[in-house]
């Protein structure tokens, strides 16, 4: 009897042992259901991020279901305690039950979005295709030479002529002249070599015109002597004046004659025959560009044209020396250039030219000798290079004439009047 009763008990024990393992698969099923989200780990980071977000709610529900089943099994049979002790592991939050790969993969997928941006490097803009890159400042290898002052500018080359200083065409010695209490010329000494182009310069009122007028016999001097090729102008005026051609400052022409008539009169007055006068008049008319005006009255001429017809009249008798007072005054540059060319050819043929002018540039370009007269005295004379002393003739002239004058005290000129 006892064996029979033991057998059912043993069978019951077996059956109890069999029921406990039946519940274990439930626990393992719960664990399996909680571990199911491991599959999204194999996805790409972007897909894993989306899957993790979607599976958060199912994981929590599966954990609650497993915990409920474990509690029911525990209440039904105490022998399921070991299995129930494993349930808390299944009821932990899904984050605790995740494998390490899943826990680290999701943050890795979010890292690029949450990573703080590194400080941006300054952008180096490239110049446009048409723009030019500014050149780096250059360091001069040597200091720059300061600009020259106007007083130190280089002078043009002077004219040099090989002349014999012992052959004098015009000699002026100790010449003086007074007008009342005013001394116009105070002892001038000048020797002009034959074949030279001699210039006389000076400020207004310096005595240039007075000196040239006495040298040509137009004004009697107060003292001194004047000779032309050895002939005293005042003791033998006819012989001296035959050798001189004069262009005075204050023209006194027979302006009621035509230009051709004036040339004919000047030629016959010098003793030339009519044929010679006609031929020379035609040559001078072409040389001075007076073809269109030669048959008009001189009174209708402009100032420049009057200068040219007067110069032609002074040259028609082929003098050995020409004395010209301001020959380029009121003459246009083209005509002045033509006159200079005529005078240079005249000098090259053996003639002598003495002229006065305020054009310093022209004087140092065409003259080989020059004299500076200030207040009736010669302050400098000789070749152009000797007189200007390495500078320009104008600078030397200003220096000897007393320098530039200041224009102070003219403030009233700056205010406009109604």
Q: At what angle do helices 2-35 and 56-76 cross, to 10 degrees?
A: 170
Strand ranges, E, within 73-196: 168-179, 182-193
Residue 18 lies in a domain: no
Residue 378 pLDDT exceeds 90: yes
pLDDT tens across 156-185, in order?
Answer: 666 767 787 889 999 999 999 999 999 999
What does the CA dihedral 27, 32, 37, 38 come to, rounded to 10 degrees? 130
- Look at the pTM and tell me if it is higher than 0.85: no
Confidence of residue 347 (pLDDT cuts 50, 70, 90): very high
**Is 322 inside a domain boundary?**
yes
CA 77-81-87 angle, to 5 degrees, is: 115
The predicted pLDDT at position 224 comes to 93
Q: How far apart are CA 391 and CA 394, in angstroms?
A: 8
Give the pLDDT score at 105.
44
Residue 338, H or E segment: helix 333-348
Q: Does the pLDDT of residue 83 top 60, yes or no?
A: no
Q: What is the CATH number of the domain that holds 344?
A: 3.40.50.300
Burial class of 349 by CB neighbour count within 10 A (0 to 12, 13 to 18, 19+) = exposed
Q: Is residue 253 part of a domain?
A: yes
What whole-number distance in Å separates Cα of residue 398 and Cα of residue 374?
11
Point out the least confidently predicted range of 31-40, 56-65, 243-252. 31-40
The rounded distance, in Å, linking the Cα atoms of 278 and 260 is 9
**Residue 29: pLDDT band by 50, 70, 90 thresholds?**
very low
* pLDDT at 31 exceeding the cut of 50: no
pLDDT value at residue 102: 43
Q: 168 to each of 239, 243, 345, how far by Cα in Å?
A: 16, 14, 20
Percentage of residues in the chain with pLDDT exceeding 70? Answer: 61
Question: What pLDDT, in 10s, does the model give residues 251-291?
Answer: 778 889 999 999 999 999 999 999 999 999 999 999 998 99
Contact 381, 387 (CB under 8 A): yes
The pLDDT of residue 362 is above 80: yes
Backbone angles phi, psi at 159, to 5 degrees: -90, 130
Residue in 95, 111, 113 with CA at minimum distance from that of residue 103 = 95
Domain with 390, as residue range(s), is 168-401
The answer to whether position 58 is within a domain reads no
Is residue 72 in some structural domain?
no
Residue 132 lies in a domain: no
Query: Higher model confidence: residue 150 or residue 220?
Result: 220
- Which residues share a beta bridge with 183? 178
Pairwise pLDDT comparison (164 vs 197), residue with the higher score: 197
pLDDT at residue 20 greater than cutoff 50: no
Q: How confident is the model at residue 135 (pLDDT cuts 50, 70, 90)?
A: low
pLDDT for res 115: 56
286 burial level (CB within 10 Å; 0-12, 13-18, 19+): exposed
Residue 5 lies in a domain: no
33 pLDDT band (50/70/90 cuts)? Answer: very low
Identify the pLDDT of residue 295. 94
Q: Which residues contact 176 (CB under 8 A, 6 or more apart)?
A: 183, 185, 186, 187, 188, 221, 222, 223, 224
For all residues of the chain together, what is the average pLDDT?
75
| Predicted local distance difference test score (pLDDT) of residue 278 | 94
Give pLDDT, residue 331: 82
Within-domain flag for 60: no
Residue 325 and residue 248 in contact, taking contact as beta carbons nearer than 8 Å: yes
> CA torsion, points 228, 231, 235, 240, in degrees to nearest 10?
-60
Res 15: pLDDT:
43
Separation of CA 21 from chain center: 107
C-alpha–C-alpha distance, residues 32 and 367, integer Å: 126
How many domains does the chain divide into?
A: 1
* Span 69-81, average pLDDT: 57
Q: Give residue 225's pLDDT band: very low, low, confident or very high (50, 70, 90).
A: very high
């Amino acid at each position: 009897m006892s064996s029979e009763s033991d057998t059912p008990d043993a069978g019951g024990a077996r059956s109890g042992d069999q029921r406990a393992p039946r519940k274990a698969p439930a626990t393992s099923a719960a664990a399996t259901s909680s571990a199911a989200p491991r599959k999204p780990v194999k996805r790409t980071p972007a897909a894993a991020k989306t899957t993790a977000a979607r599976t958060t709610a199912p994981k929590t529900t599966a954990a609650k279901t497993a915990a409920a089943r474990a509690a029911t099994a525990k209440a039904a049979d105490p022998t399921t305690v070991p299995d129930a002790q494993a349930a808390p592991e299944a009821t932990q939050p899904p984050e605790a039950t995740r494998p390490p790969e899943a826990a680290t993969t999701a943050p890795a997928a979010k890292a690029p979005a949450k990573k703080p941006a590194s400080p941006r490097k300054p952008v180096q803009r490239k110049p446009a295709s048409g723009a030019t890159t500014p050149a780096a400042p250059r360091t001069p290898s040597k200091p720059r030479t300061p600009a020259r002052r106007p007083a130190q500018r280089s002078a043009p080359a002077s004219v040099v002529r090989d002349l014999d200083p012992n052959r004098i065409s015009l000699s002026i010695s100790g010449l003086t002249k007074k007008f009342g209490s005013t001394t116009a010329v105070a002892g001038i000494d000048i020797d002009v070599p034959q074949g030279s182009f001699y210039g006389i310069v000076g400020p207004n009122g310096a005595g240039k015109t007075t000196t040239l007028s006495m040298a040509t016999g137009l004004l009697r001097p107060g003292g001194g002597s004047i000779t032309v090729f050895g002939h005293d102008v005042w003791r033998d005026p006819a012989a001296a004046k035959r050798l001189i051609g004069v262009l005075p400052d204050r023209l006194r022409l027979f302006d009621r004659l035509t230009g051709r008539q004036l040339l004919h009169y000047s030629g016959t007055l010098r003793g030339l025959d009519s044929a010679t006068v006609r031929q020379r008049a035609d040559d001078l008319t072409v040389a001075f560009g007076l073809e269109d005006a030669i048959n008009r009255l001189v009174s209708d001429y402009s100032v420049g044209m009057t200068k040219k017809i007067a110069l032609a009249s002074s040259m028609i008798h082929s003098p050995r020396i020409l004395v010209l007072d301001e020959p380029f005054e009121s003459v246009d540059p083209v005509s002045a250039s033509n006159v200079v060319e005529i005078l240079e050819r005249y000098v090259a043929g053996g003639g002598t030219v003495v002229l006065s002018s305020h054009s310093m540039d022209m004087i140092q370009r065409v003259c080989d000798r020059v004299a500076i007269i200030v207040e009736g005295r010669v302050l400098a004379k000789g070749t152009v290079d000797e007189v200007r002393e390495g500078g320009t003739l104008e600078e030397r002239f200003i220096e000897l004439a007393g320098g530039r004058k200041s224009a102070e005290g003219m403030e009233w000129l700056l205010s406009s009047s109604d």
